[in-house]
Amino acid sequence: MATAATKVAQAAPMFSVRPTRLDQLLAAAAGMLAVVIVAAIARGRSEWGEVPTLVWAHIGTILLAVSLTPTMLLRRRGDMLHRRLGWIWVLALTATALLSFFIRGLNQGSFSLIHILSIWTLIQLPLIVWHARNHRHNKHRAAVRGMVIGALLIAGFFTFPFERLMGHWLVG
């Protein structure tokens, strides 16, 4: 006969649904990146008409993913809202990576080192989904953190220097 304590222990998830300090740090960094992106876009409004639709689509999908990241990292995990927002996040990052292959103007039409990150993103995103669907919560969480660090924060940082569009708009 099961006791009340046994029933509670059986009902408790085998993984933590609470954000860790690292999650909080990554969420804050993603939030700050979103604010900087919006500020850059606002400052560059005089040049908006010169930006190709493809680049706007790329900016929009990455802004969606970056903006969803704090919510995904800080709110309760595993419920229906987390799954739905997770699908939106994955689709936004997938679109961002795919669109990047058509944006090659900075290197006279050839691919750059940043396109390696796009390939890595397209490999990692299905793994993130697969880990979640197979209840491999620790691997899912680690892969999401890696994606946030690599594809969002590090790649996001490199969009601002070197006279790239966002850097030009922000400080130009």
Residue 90 in any domain: the answer is: yes
Give me the pLDDT at residue 106, please.
53
For the cut 70, the answer to whether the pLDDT of residue 163 exceeds it is yes
Full domain range(s) for residue 28: 20-171
Residue 99 in any domain: the answer is: yes
Residue 13 in any domain: the answer is: no
Residue 8 in any domain: the answer is: no
**Please, where are the H alpha helices in 48-157?**
53-74, 80-100, 114-133, 137-147, 155-157
Reported pTM: 0.86
The 10s digit of each residue's pLDDT in 16-48 is 778 999 999 999 999 999 999 999 999 999 999
Residue 10 in any domain: the answer is: no
Give me the pLDDT at residue 29, please.
97
State the total domains in the chain. Answer: 1
Residue 9 in any domain: the answer is: no
The 10s digit of each residue's pLDDT in 84-141 is 999 999 999 999 999 999 887 655 556 777 788 899 999 999 999 999 999 999 999 9
Percentage helix, strand, coil for the chain under 3-state DSSP, each rounded to 5: 75, 0, 25
Taking a C-beta distance cutoff of 8 angstroms, is the pair 40, 170 a contact? Answer: yes
For the cut 80, the answer to whether the pLDDT of residue 6 exceeds it is no
Residue 77 in any domain: the answer is: yes
Q: What is the DSSP string of 73-90?
A: HHS--SSHHHHHHHHHHH
Contacts of 6 (CB under 8 A, 6+ apart): none
Residue 7 in any domain: the answer is: no
What's the full length of the chain, in residues?
172
Give me the pLDDT at residue 4, please.
55
